[in-house]
A = this chain, B = another copy of it.
């Protein structure tokens, strides 16, 4: 088969790779219906994270089960399934407490920008739909696999509840779906931080009531101004840089909640500043599996349309252009069709 492999910064190739096989009896092999490029794929693509060897890319996926290992009980060939980027047994104490991305047997699922994918711990990791969904449902179902699940975790970790004032720092796909999640959770006011018109528009469509274009200290001052000098109850940090983290913490009210869901790159938090900011801080790799059944249901019932974050759809063979478009911020998020 041919699949996406990153060789060096800015060098993604669509090249021959061996087809995946069952390795462990708990594995499943799925035929990918759609996959996509993640904001986190841009870190190595941009050379911020070193590329030490050719790396099969992609960790967002949905598709049809081709084959299962002999110990797989609930997942069956022919089912349409969605899974997360961390395989999890969904039975260990950490999974049971809702932190499947830190499962005691967690395993990263890589190489999803391909026609076929091996998914470890299939019973714990994959969620099957009732029947095979229509093609127009696929983008929104694909979104649940990571980008919506991560935005949802951001809102959950920031304690979003009915009536709260929420600020979202970052207008990437995760931030935009953080807005959607906050709206679903009943937030009264949702302030999106964005200076990009198309993204502002999508943020408003997903439920943002206000848009702030300022960044850094000016962005903080603007949000304080809008909240009677207090700051937001809940702030979702959806970028992962020092600047965005600082803006997020500074935008929260005393006693408020800040979540962070992008892998931090070069972020150092000064203990004393954090202490006097008086915030709750929670984040980490989103335990998407916790939310998957609910998110799939919301999509299939037509309550949410997270697939709108895909503003570029390409055949998998054009994966390199998919990365370029996101790198240059010409696309919010690229969907790839094998």
With A275-B264, A278-B99, A279-B282 already in contact, the answer to whether A255 and B104 are too (CB < 8 A) is no
Task: Judge if A186 is at the interface, Cβ distance under 8 Å.
Answer: no
Q: Are B270 and A268 in contact (CB under 8 A)?
A: yes
Q: Which of A83-101 contact B (CB under 8 A)?
A: 93-94, 97-99, 101
Q: Are B282 and A272 in contact (CB under 8 A)?
A: no
Partner of A284 from the list B253, B270, B276, B283 (CB cut-off 8 Å) is B276
Q: Are A275 and B255 in contact (CB under 8 A)?
A: no
Q: Are B278 and A267 in contact (CB under 8 A)?
A: no
Partner of A93 from the list B230, B245, B260, B285 (CB cut-off 8 Å) is B230
Q: Which of A254-296 contact B (CB under 8 A)?
A: 254-255, 260, 263-272, 274-285, 287
Q: Are B272 and A263 in contact (CB under 8 A)?
A: yes
Q: Are B284 and A281 in contact (CB under 8 A)?
A: no
Task: Judge if A54 is at the interface, Cβ distance under 8 Å.
Answer: no
- Contact residues in B for A266 (Cβ distance below 8 Å): 271
Who on chain B is nearest to A245 by CB? B271
Task: Judge if A229 is at the interface, Cβ distance under 8 Å.
Answer: yes
Interface size class of A (residues with CB under 8 A): 35 or more
With A94-B230, A102-B254 already in contact, the answer to whether A277 and B272 are too (CB < 8 A) is no
- Contact residues in B for A277 (Cβ distance below 8 Å): 284
Residue of A271, A278, A281, A287 with highest tally of chain B CB at under 10 A: A271
Q: Are B255 and A102 in contact (CB under 8 A)?
A: yes
With A280-B282, A281-B282, A284-B277 already in contact, the answer to whether A269 and B272 are too (CB < 8 A) is no
Q: Which of A47-64 contact B (CB under 8 A)?
A: none
Q: Are A280 and B278 in contact (CB under 8 A)?
A: no
Q: Are A255 and B94 in contact (CB under 8 A)?
A: yes
Q: Are A229 and B260 in contact (CB under 8 A)?
A: no
Tell me, in angstroms, the Cα distance from A97 to B98 when the chains sit together.
27
Who on chain B is nearest to A267 by CB? B271
With A255-B102, A282-B280 already in contact, the answer to whether A271 and B272 are too (CB < 8 A) is no
6 closest residue pairs by CB, A with B:
A267-B271, A264-B271, A102-B254, A99-B255, A278-B284, A269-B269
